[in-house]
Amino acid sequence: MTFDIPATLSPRCASIVSMTTRPSSFAIDVPDPLLARMRLGERAAFEQLYRHFERPVYTLALRICGEREQAVEVLQETMLKVIGRIGDFRGGDGPFWGWLRQIAVNESLMTLRRQRRSGDELSQADGVEPIDEHTPPPSAAADAALLQRALETLPATTRTVLWLYHAEGYTHEEIAALMERTPSFSKSQLARGIRRLREQLEPAIVDLREVAHA
């Protein structure tokens, strides 16, 4: 997906925000022979699939739900549903990873809805634990840390829209359908998220510059 960097963002801030627009980590090719083995119920095949998608599912769930325990729950429920529904997958409707990702998104959103029913306040900032898929160079690590802290300040709903739109490539129409809202709601939440990220990132960048030149 093409990400139009808002003109109001400084180059450094825009660079950090654009870190959310990397290709989906779900985009993993699953060979047809592996799918065939899973349809036959071969345990080793499911274990191989789990190793492929454990990190992408967990990362998505953690970004949306905000807590490790809930992310683990989403991961487990997603994989159980994949095992139970593997016979429903039809390759003509798109890649397997897209089908699996949809299950993970649905499970994550169901978790948020349960939070709402239990009285948890989704409009408040939720903590999101850092996820290290690899060790970046020092400058990239610093930018990733800034983005991490900024994401932590976003309300769960806003963070969900931003992540689905920029990191996973969903359209506003698709997000609206998933969240049972309107496309305009998705657009407003995205704009809110970018604005909040800018408010968090710009002062932090200035502080870093002052320290560097002290």
Q: What is the pLDDT of residue 138?
A: 38
Q: What is the pLDDT of residue 197?
A: 83
Angstrom distance (rounded) from CA 22 to CA 75: 21
Angstrom distance (rounded) from CA 78 to CA 138: 34
Arithmetic mean of pLDDT, 174-184? 94
Domain locations in the chain as residue ranges = 23-120, 134-214
Angstrom distance (rounded) from CA 83 to CA 103: 11
Angstrom distance (rounded) from CA 16 to CA 47: 35
Torsion of CA 167, 192, 66, 136, to 10 degrees: 50
The residues, any chain, with a CB within 8 Å of residue 96's CB and separated by 6 or more, are 30, 35, 89
Predicted confidence (pLDDT) at residue 7 exceeds the cutoff of 50: no
**Is the model's pTM score more than 0.75?**
no
Arithmetic mean of pLDDT, 61-81? 92
Q: How confident is the model at residue 119 (pLDDT cuts 50, 70, 90)?
A: low
- Domain 23-120 is in which class? mainly alpha
Arithmetic mean of pLDDT, 58-80? 91
Arithmetic mean of pLDDT, 4-9? 48
How crowded is the C-beta side of 184, counted as CA atoms within 13 Å?
Answer: 0
Q: What is the pLDDT of residue 71?
A: 92
CA distances from 61 to 82, 107, 127, 204 (A): 16, 8, 13, 27
User: CATH: 3.40.630.40, 3.90.930.12, 3.40.50.1820, 1.10.10.10. Which one for 134-214?
Assistant: 1.10.10.10
21 or 85, which is more confident: 85
